[in-house]
Amino acid sequence: MAYSRLHWGDILVIIGYFVAVIAVGIISSCRNRGSINGFFLAGRSMHWIPIGASLFASNIGSGHFVGLAGSGAAGGIGIAVFELNAIFILMILGWIFVPVYTAAGVYTMPEYLRKRFGGQRIRIYLSVLALLLYVFTKISADLYSGAIFLTQALPELNLYVAVIILLAVAALFTIGGGLTAVIWTDFIQTIIMLVGGFVLMIMSFIKVGGYERMVKEYFEAWPNTTKLHKGLPNDNYSYTDCGIPPANSMNLIRSAEDGSLPWPGIMFGLTISSVWYWCSDQVIVQRALAAKNLSNAKAGTILAGYLKFLPMFLIVMPGMISRILFSDTVGCADPDECFKVCGSRSGCTNIAYPTLVLEIMPPGLRGLMLAVMMSALISSLTSIFNSSSTIFTMDIWRRIRKGASEVELMIVGRVCVLILVAVSIAWIPIVQNISELFHYIQAITSYLAPPVCSIYVLAIFWKRTNEQGAFWGLMVGLVAGLTRFIWEFSYSPVPCGEEENDIRPDIISKVHYLHFGILLFGLVVIVAVIVSLLTAPIEDRYLHRLTFWSRFDTRERSDLDKEEAEKVAKKPPPVVAEVDYDSLPWYKKAFQWICGIEKMNDAPVFTEEEIKIQEMKQTSIHETKTWRRVLNVNAIVLMTLAIFVWGFWA
């Protein structure tokens, strides 16, 4: 596709999008900037609407548009179970995990485990693991999917220049404004994504002739390379059955032997990975912790839950329609033909959504959808950059520099974002070689996330869990997960039609990654429980407000790392020279504004009593009876609707 396919109207829409989002980012950057709490948790003052929108936007990145639509083109609506499952897990986040995190008064998830178990080795391990997962799954997936869309839309544009521009804009928002800017830009981008997605969905269904027509024609959407085996002789076609849509393409619940989405893996293995992602991952939980109170946090998860119904209709089904309309390209099965179409020998379903946008949308709307993909990419990257800088600053840097000043922490957070940008750019060539994007991400998650999920669940619900049990459970889980990961990816993927040449052992070829996640979760729980029972328990005075059962406890909690805390407290604060801000050169003023420290010298000084009152307000999980009832009813209605949708397409 040539660059000339983009009309001047498309360019105007894209420019208008960037102007609008940058304006929102700059305006919101001026709020909650001059403190750690403001930069990393938006001053804990956010309303439920931007929180819900940010939860949704942070999850639905460009990887979802490309990955979900591609999986829909390849295997039907089954991939939508990942979205429907998240609805239930969001309720678990709002009703079980957020109350504990809020009552504990934590910034980050590793910080919670440090308070819960004491010591530093678990916190450091999880911090490093989170940063690795961010770089090699989330950032890489978004860059890869963004690269696919940009390559299809603008083949003459240098890929690296385009990606660097997107990364630079995302980093600018995060470095300049912190979580407040991120949440408000997420809110604007969610609106853009929904409007563009609805327009494309309506046009797609009109093009194919409606839902019933889509279902009928999807099962007949074979590429030419498949038709020979079905009785249409032509010497140019390959002898293969590959490229035929599976018979269960319109089913959400599939057999236990299904190679793609087995029901035990979906019901249990996916739930384990989802609890890790939605309830203990910094990117997601940080948004809920930014709420002004617990009721707003719950309402935000409910709004995000309702929005999670949309991807099935806005992304998955348009991906199926793309296969119907472009079966020879999107649905290609012959490796040589696929390589000509999209540069990959394993299939071209990943181009389903970009192809649909560029082929059926008129000028102007094409630019809108390109802006949607950009907004999805930037939204995810800003979320990841902000959360990664929070983890590095609060969990790693403060461990290295115990007496670091607030100014130093603010600057380190920004520098961390710049480093992540550099690593992301360097990772682009590796990401471009990934063929099965969505399942690749889920597989890595199933190998690394279940141990972390199990420890958080035990920490929240079983007070007998101690540091030794949690640490050795994590270590055993890490070894088992990495062994499966390295072992599996040491083999080359088996192309369609060559299954008889599969030399992988049964533990790799016959144990689905979601099933492995279940086994890994169980293994870590067993190890953690046994080691905890064999070692000394943690005294109750260290656990007030750190478990689900003690979240309302008003007694003062003792710090497990009291000696280290006292050592930091006794250390005199670093001396910062008083500087007249107005007398500084313009370039120093600009630097301090970017780093959010231009107001540090003018920050109000609070008494110990005022600080204590403020902390009590921020850690309160009190709810009024009216709001609690309204939220509980909404949660029940939401989950009932999710069960109905799941059952309707079972």
Count of positions (residues) in the chain: 650
Asked whether residue 612 carries a pLDDT value surpassing 50, the answer given is: yes
Count of H helices and E strands in the chain?
31, 0
**Is the distance from CB of 385 to CB of 139 less than 8 angstroms?**
no
For residues 56, 58, 63, 64, the Cα torsion angle rounded to the nearest 10 degrees is -10
Summarised one tens digit per residue, pLDDT across range 496-521 is 666 666 777 888 888 899 999 999 99
Percentage of the chain surpassing pLDDT 90? 31
DSSP string, 224-278: HHHHGGGT---TTS-S--TTPPPTTTT-SS--TT-SS--HHIIIIIHHHHHHHHH
Flag whether pLDDT at 298 surpasses 50: yes
Mean predicted confidence (pLDDT) in 313-330: 92
> Encoding tokens for residue 77?
């609506």
- Cα dihedral angle (238, 242, 244, 247), rounded to 10 degrees? 150
pTM for this predicted structure:
0.81
- For residue 155, give both structure tokens: 């083949």
- The helix-helix angle for 282-289 and 48-59 (nearest 10°) equals 170
Local confidence band at 560 (pLDDT 50, 70, 90 cut-offs): confident
Number of neighbouring beta carbons within 10 Å of residue 135: 17
Q: Residue 41 above 80 pLDDT?
A: no
Domains along the chain with CATH numbers:
3-103+118-256+292-432+614-648 (1.20.1730.10)
Whether residue 150 has pLDDT greater than 80? no
Q: How far is CA 162 from CA 148, 371, 417, in A?
A: 12, 13, 19
How many whole angstroms separate alpha carbon 587 and alpha carbon 172? 17
What does the pLDDT read at residue 538? 94
Q: Please tell me the number of Cα atoms within 13 Å of 224 on its side-chain side.
A: 9
What is 17-39 written as a DSSP string? Answer: HHHHHHHHHHHHHTSS-SSHHHH
Average pLDDT over residues 135-164: 71
- pLDDT at residue 461 is higher than 50: yes
What is the DSSP secondary-structure string of 320-371? HHHHHHTTTTTT---HHHHHHHHS-SS--GGGHHHHHHHHHSPTTHHHHHHH
pLDDT of residue 608: 56
DSSP code, position 105: T
How confident is the model over 211-226, as pLDDT tens digits? 999 999 999 888 876 6
Is pLDDT of 62 > 90?
no
Whether 79 shows a pLDDT value over 60: the answer reads: yes
Q: How many other CB atoms are there within 10 angstroms of residue 384's CB atom?
A: 27
- Locate 372 and state its tokens: 């949607």
Q: By the 8 A CB rule, do 237 and 227 touch?
A: yes
Identify which has the larger pLDDT, 269 or 288. Answer: 269
Per-residue confidence band for 80, with pLDDT thresholds at 50, 70 and 90 = very high
Identify each DSSP E strand in 405-530 by its residue range. none
Best mean pLDDT range from 39-43, 114-118, 269-273, 425-429: 269-273
What is the number of other CB atoms lying within 10 angstroms of the CB of residue 413? 27
Dihedrals phi, psi of 111, to nearest 5 degrees: -65, -35
Q: What is the DSSP letter of 46?
A: B
Is residue 46's pLDDT more than 60? yes
32 vs 436, which has greater pLDDT?
Answer: 436
- Could you give the CA distance from residue 268 to residue 278 in angstroms, rounded to a whole number? 15
Q: What is the mean pLDDT of residues 442-448?
A: 87
Q: What is the pLDDT of residue 365?
A: 81
- Of all residues in the chain, the percent with pLDDT exceeding 70 is 73
- CA dist list (Å): 514 to 206, 250, 268, 447: 36, 21, 8, 9
What's the pLDDT score for residue 336?
78
The separation between the first and the last C-alpha atoms of the chain, rounded to the nearest angstrom, is: 39
Mean pLDDT in residue range 467-481: 94
- Specify the residue for token string 């607030």: 406
